[in-house]
A and B are shown apart, each in its own frame.
Chain A
């Protein structure tokens, strides 16, 4: 009997070995997304005032920011909105911007009016950027507009004050600003501001384009290109326009999404600006208060055939975990989304084809986008909010796409496997990545023209582990924007990320740095390189927590 058992055990072991060798390992359960927006009572819809006449800016509406405005530990949401045209005024509540307070129970409360963020006096709003520019511990907001741009100071009591005028952040009124990003380009501990500008436009100079009597949104070519603007934070709530002296003034484009990262790992943040139908810009920080536009040198100005596309959203993160931030921009149907691998901080290699991104993306017109490790496996996946520019084609309404990262080498389309709410077809525009319920899995918030935004909660049910890092700078800017992190797991696997709120198009994401850890529960070390130069290493960090790290004194 004993011998029989021994024999059975051997057989079982052999069978198990055969089974593990002969069969593919079962894939981890794929999380899915569920839209919970309908559970909350708010009236915001993305309203571009399309009434038959096609004004140029109407295609770009519905910026979104995820930030914790009241420091209650839960991420709140802010949405920008359009205006009545040609008046270009938020004449009634359907055009108001919207602030939703996260109640922590899966519902959101509209607190816009109380916060003073309706924006009644603003024009047509586009992008939004969240950041604590005055280091007072409260996240502020900058809003891009056709009309005047707006800086809102967070008063720390649930209200905001429009401080644009005294901040010195000015621009010509007809300059159409689309997106903005907070970053500290000179590492002086104060957040500076980069604003991408599209063109010079007013309702009065709007062009009409039509074919066979049917109006369509004009090609960008008929509008002039303009320079992006850089504002240096002087402290005391004041900013100086350093566009020309910093080297941004001479490169004219049609600015869209902005990605911030230290591409060459020299300790200074660089800026990528996606341009619509014009070459893309990569401003490399010269560490002396100036930048050099280096898109040609880095090979990101054009695609590899020398073509400029309608680049929309942009994000810069390290998708292959080699320690250097890579680049991802999307564009319109029939073009090729750009995925670039950073080659050791020297230049970028165009890998859209090899990674399958070109084939996966060719049917989609992308707007906001970004790297998101939605399944916490430690590999950053690719998300894009999609929808045609115009409503003239048969497939103008489009679903979003999610391309899953396979070992940092290639991507596969899992868009149809992450829930029906994710697959909603529309004219999607803005998007933010945020952990709304602090469960360690990234949720998604997406705006869509003429609709309520979707608040897509991640099912977080595949058992993978995670770490969220909330940075508090002391010598560095208080948000810690620009801090670069290297996480080493118990098995020795290394993961990289950095603090930024800027990604995608017109949008601003959760500033907390997210790491998916896969099946690993232990973190051997977490190294943080702060913008100040301070390097801080934490040992044996517990997984599955929101870790707040205050910058060390030295």
Chain B
């Protein structure tokens, strides 16, 4: 699981949100809870006796002084002794299971320790008791963000801002990063455009804004790239420009820029993935595979790499592996039609016709212009001996593809 911040390295973290920190500080208490770790004896019998006595004393103390345990936990947390703090918070919650503060702090300590799944469980437990707690929502959003669950992160950030507008400044860039990762470029542009006047020139902002503009196919992406480049050679700028060129099918230029981006900063999120996409287009699937693998080593949840590795694995008929990648991609973008379509193709290829039918029917209902999904659904119906349904889907797919073919041919050689 990633402990890296997903998105741009310069992406600002929320300021003063108390993210992954204790909600409040309490004076430290005596060291009773830790005395066990100080004790040592060469004789086992004495040890056992002492532990027994100690356990009795400790439980008595715990029953009498829960607040002291919480204070001690917070002190440990603040001192950076996360394992001990987590244990202390759990001890406290065993006595006071409804303590929101302890639950939130436990989540924060777990998150700081990189144990995001446990943190998410604690935050969610806290939110069950207090669904509209903005601080808990913020922390939960951050934990989701760090685990690449951008859709869930975005939903929590949005809710937190609705409940407490003062969080808006802290969360805007994170939310925009989520939108970019989810392919919701239009939402990212809407969020960032009003800030351009004040934040233009800030590398993190420019990168997010440029990504959103280019992703949404809007003009203005090139201007943002130039703005970044005006500060000197920048991997981010080359990545953005390469992405722009890739979109415009200018493959030679895209290759030059994307390779430069990777050379300047091999850890730049998204750079290997874009290069991998280009290499696939160029028919260099082995190199593309390497690029996607490099991206996933930096961020195991990166969407494009998971999707393409899933497709490559599917083509190799390594269906278990394909599912693993595609499921990971779906975790990042839960409703992505492309990934769901590929999952349905895996189902079809492995003879699981019923799940393939169900997902393709849903997909074509949601995206009626998805010609390939209609075509595959036709094949599924034919395999299920539902000829009439197959004929219908085939006709729909054919019509859609004919419409696509009727579009202007473009200006590039094939």
Contacts and interface: CB of A to CB of B under 8 A. Distances in A.
A362 B281 CA distance: 10
A203 B349 CA distance: 45
B411 A211 contact: yes
Contact of A304 (B285, B315, B390): B315
B283 A354 contact: no
A358 interface: yes
Contacts of A211: 411-413
B317 A351 contact: yes
Given A299-B379, A389-B414, A359 B285 contact: yes
Interface stretch (A95-103, A125-133, A305-313): A305-313
Given A334-B282, A354-B316, A296 B378 contact: yes
A359 B286 contact: yes
B371 to A, nearest CB: 7
B56 to A, nearest CB: 65
A392 B413 contact: yes
Which of A310, A332, A358, A390 neighbours the largest number of chain B CB atoms within 10 Å of its CB? A358
Nearest to B312: A353
Given A297-B382, A359-B286, A216 B317 contact: no
Contacts of A216: 413
A307 B383 contact: no
A219 B315 contact: no
A307 B342 CA distance: 12
A219 B410 CA distance: 9
A302 B375 contact: yes
Q: Which of the four size classes fits the interface of chain A?
A: 35 or more
Nearest to B398: A279
A50 B371 CA distance: 38
Interface string B376-392: 10110011000000100
Contacts of A219: 409-410, 413-414
A209 interface: yes
A279 B281 contact: no
A363 interface: yes
Interface string B319-338: 00000000000000000000
Nearest to B345: A304
A352 interface: yes
Contact of B283 (A217, A297, A306, A362): A362
B117 interface: no
B390 A296 contact: yes
Interface in A379-411: 389-390, 392
Contacts of B401: 279, 308
A347 interface: yes
A496 B376 CA distance: 31
Nearest to B382: A297
A277 B401 CA distance: 11
Contacts of A334: 281-283
A347 B412 CA distance: 36
A358 B285 contact: yes
Contact of A306 (B286, B314, B371, B414): B371
A347 B315 CA distance: 18
B91 interface: no
Interface residues of B, number: 36
A304 B413 contact: no
B412 A363 contact: no
Q: Chain A: interface secondary structure?
A: loop
Nearest to B385: A297
A307 B312 CA distance: 15
Given A221-B405, A333-B283, A358-B285, A304 B314 contact: yes
Contacts of A217: 413
Given A221-B409, A296-B390, A390-B413, A362 B372 contact: no
A155 B314 CA distance: 54
A296 B345 contact: no
Interface string B389-409: 010001000000100010101
A191 interface: no
A218 interface: yes
Given A297-B382, A306-B372, A354-B316, A362 B284 contact: yes
Contacts of B282: 334
Nearest to A218: B409
Most buried by A among B283, B349, B375: B283
B240 interface: no
Contacts of A221: 405, 407, 409
A294 B379 CA distance: 10
Interface string A235-260: 00000000000000000000000000
A435 to B, nearest CB: 34
B351 to A, nearest CB: 10
A24 interface: no
A305 B339 CA distance: 11
B409 A354 contact: no
A211 B410 CA distance: 10
A75 interface: no
Contact of B315 (A296, A297, A336): A336
Q: Which of A209, A218, A353, A389 has the most CB of B within 10 A?
A: A353
Contacts of B341: 306
B409 A306 contact: no
B373 interface: yes
Nearest to A347: B383
Contacts of B171: none
Interface in A262-301: 277-279, 294, 296-297, 299, 301
A222 interface: yes
B315 A306 contact: no
Interface string B88-118: 0000000000000000000000000000000
B281 A307 contact: no
B258 interface: no
Contacts of A279: 375, 401
A219 B349 CA distance: 32
Nearest to B338: A305
Q: Which of A218, A335, A362, A389 has the most CB of B within 10 A?
A: A362
A308 B286 CA distance: 22
A225 B375 CA distance: 19
Contact of A297 (B316, B317, B390, B412): B390
A217 B401 CA distance: 22
Interface in B254-309: 281-286
Contact of B372 (A225, A305, A389, A392): A305
Contacts of B394: 296
Interface in B168-201: none
B409 A305 contact: no
Interface string A477-499: 00000000000000000000000
B341 to A, nearest CB: 8
Nearest to A352: B315
7 contacts: A211-B413, A217-B413, A219-B410, A296-B378, A335-B283, A353-B314, A353-B317
Interface of A: 209, 211, 216-222, 225, 277-279, 294, 296-297, 299, 301-302, 304-308, 310, 332-336, 347, 349-354, 358-359, 362-363, 389-390, 392
Given A220-B414, A296-B390, 13 more contacts: A211-B412, A219-B410, A219-B413, A279-B375, A296-B382, A297-B382, A297-B383, A304-B315, A306-B341, A306-B375, A310-B414, A362-B285, A390-B413
- Top 9 A-B residue pairs of the complex, sorted by shortest distance between their CB atoms: A306-B372, A353-B315, A334-B283, A297-B382, A362-B283, A216-B413, A354-B317, A353-B316, A219-B409
